Amino acid sequence: MTATGDHNSPSNGAPSQVSGIVAPSDSEGAGRHSSELSSPSIADSRASKDETISSPYERGNLSDLLDADGATGESRTQYLTPRQLMIIRFGKNKLALLGLWFLLLIYASVLFAPMIAPYDPFHRFNKHLYVPPREIHIRDDAGNWQRPFVYAVKIETNKETFTREFIEDRNQRYPIKLFVHGDPYKLWGLWKMDWHLFGVENAEEIGPIFLLGGDKFGRDIFGRVLFGGRISLTIGLFGVAISLFIGLLLGGLSGLYGGTVDNIVQRLIEFLRSIPTIPLWMGLAAAMPADWPQIRIYFGITIILSLLSWTTLARVVRGKFLSLRNEDFVLAAQSAGASQWYLIWQHLVPSFMSYVLVDLTLAIPNMILGETALSFLGLGLVSPAVSWGVMLKDAQQVVEIAIHPWILWPAMFVVVTVLAFNFIGDGLRDAADPYADL
């Protein structure tokens, strides 16, 4: 803008012409400041200059918006990203947080199972078969507080039932120590160690510390539950990842393109869903090489079944794509030149991510239940492999459960783990819902 007059001259009713905008200093009067603001040319110049300054949202600096005056209450949430809103909603779900913390604890325990378990999972205490859960004391008979200890165990025969009974010998007291030497092991197959988190000395004579009791071979159920969780908790993760990717991809292509692609994918889904699972599992187990170890056989069967278990997710994804492919935001992205791959993973899939998350959190416990059920029936893993399903094979006899109810502890871990996954799935579903209240 070119200037024809001095901007310091008083206003005579005509708009003043300026050569530029100069911010008034503190020493200048208020009259001059108000005259500058009232000048249309100056106001237009300032407006055009402000338009060139990017907002905090355009710069991606959301903290500037949240710290601004007046950005409180409901107005603060409109500047949060979908991921931030999802985290806030999930943090308000108490059951989901409880399930998350439990899973973190159980997976950490499984990761350090050789160190946490007081004994090797195959260590047999032949004198202490079917020992009930040991009681840990912190007060002696006189009522004085002591460091945690256990009493020695005496084995007596009940003359009426002719069963062995384990009675505490109050005359022998043994303290529980931390980081004691015990059965050697290799942590993660790398370091040779023999340190265990807790234990007592001379366990063969006074009786081992069985927190959850012992089985029919005198093995520690607590340690075997931790080692069995290595298989039961992790064996389905890879299979779930495969089925999730295939379900999203084929279901998305079927719903997005339709026509011939849709017919081929749907006929394939109908064929796979018509195959019975249990006979298929039995046939695959018989087809595996006999010289393979149990873990490799089960992993192979799990991966094959995961290639067949994507059908339910694919059908739901297809329905979502059919309902969303004509929405305005999808058509706008197509008009802007977005590729089909970009549309699927950046626009369509995030719009129903809540269902995907729920399906993922439910698929993992289904794998756990499948391993447990098949191993219980003898179609999955067998001894000497250690898993929760293999351990529950000892509970097939009702008489055993009535006399030794502590052998059902692996079932309790299965139930609580499945509930934890379900709680997390419900929390993620509610958190990912774009229409949910904050």
Structure confidence at residue 30 (pLDDT):
45
More confident residue, 4 or 416: 416
Q: Which residues is 156 bridged to in the sheet?
A: 165
Strand, helix or coil for residue 169 = strand
Segment of 114-118, 198-202, 307-311, 359-363 carrying the highest mean pLDDT: 114-118
pLDDT over threshold 80, residue 280: no
pLDDT over threshold 80, residue 335: yes
CB 405 within 8 A of CB 67: no
Which ranges constitute the DSSP H helices of 325-408? 328-335, 340-343, 349-351, 353-377, 388-392, 398-403
pLDDT over threshold 70, residue 60: no
pLDDT over threshold 50, residue 300: yes
Average pLDDT of 178-183?
Answer: 89
Sign of CA dihedral 79, 81, 84, 90: positive
What pLDDT, in 10s, does the model give residues 200-254?
888 887 888 899 999 989 899 999 999 999 888 887 777 788 888 888 888 888 8
Residue with tokens 């459960």: 401
pLDDT over threshold 70, residue 147: yes
Q: 438 pLDDT band (50/70/90 cuts)?
A: low
Structure confidence at residue 86 (pLDDT):
82
Rounded Cα distance, 37 and 47, in Å:
11
Segment of 86-100, 315-329, 335-349 carrying the highest mean pLDDT: 86-100
Q: Look at phi and psi of residue 168 and say left if phi exceeds 0, alpha if psi is from -120 to 50, else beta.
A: beta
From residue 435, alpha-carbon distances to 6, 32, 381, 429 in Å are 58, 52, 45, 11
* Choice among 36-45, 96-105, 231-240, 306-315 with the minimum mean pLDDT: 36-45
Report residue 363 as tokens: 């698929």
Average pLDDT of 331-351?
Answer: 81
Structure confidence at residue 219 (pLDDT):
92
- What is the rounded average pLDDT for all residues in the chain? 78
Q: 420 pLDDT band (50/70/90 cuts)?
A: very high
DSSP letter at 289 equals -
Q: 352 pLDDT band (50/70/90 cuts)?
A: confident
Across the chain, which distance is largest between two alpha carbons, in Å?
A: 122
pTM confidence score: 0.73
Going along 50-203, which residue ranges are E strands? Answer: 137-139, 145-157, 164-175, 177-187, 191-199
Q: What share of the chain is helix, strand, coil (3-state, %, to 5)?
A: 55, 10, 35
Q: What are phi and psi of 151, to 5 degrees?
A: -90, 155
Q: 436 pLDDT band (50/70/90 cuts)?
A: low
Q: 119 pLDDT band (50/70/90 cuts)?
A: very high
pLDDT over threshold 80, residue 168: yes
From residue 275, alpha-carbon distances to 186, 195, 269, 334 in Å are 42, 49, 10, 39
More confident residue, 115 or 234: 115
CB 361 within 8 A of CB 422: yes
From residue 64, alpha-carbon distances to 47, 57, 77, 403, 411 in Å are 21, 9, 13, 67, 52
Type of residue at 56: P
pLDDT over threshold 80, residue 288: no
Residues 6+ positions from 206 with CB-CB distance below 8 Å: 150, 152, 153, 172, 174, 200
Rounded Cα distance, 269 and 339, in Å:
26
**Listed residue (251, 416, 229, 419) closest to 324, CA to CA:** 251
Burial class (CB in 10 A: 0-12, 13-18, 19+), 261: middle
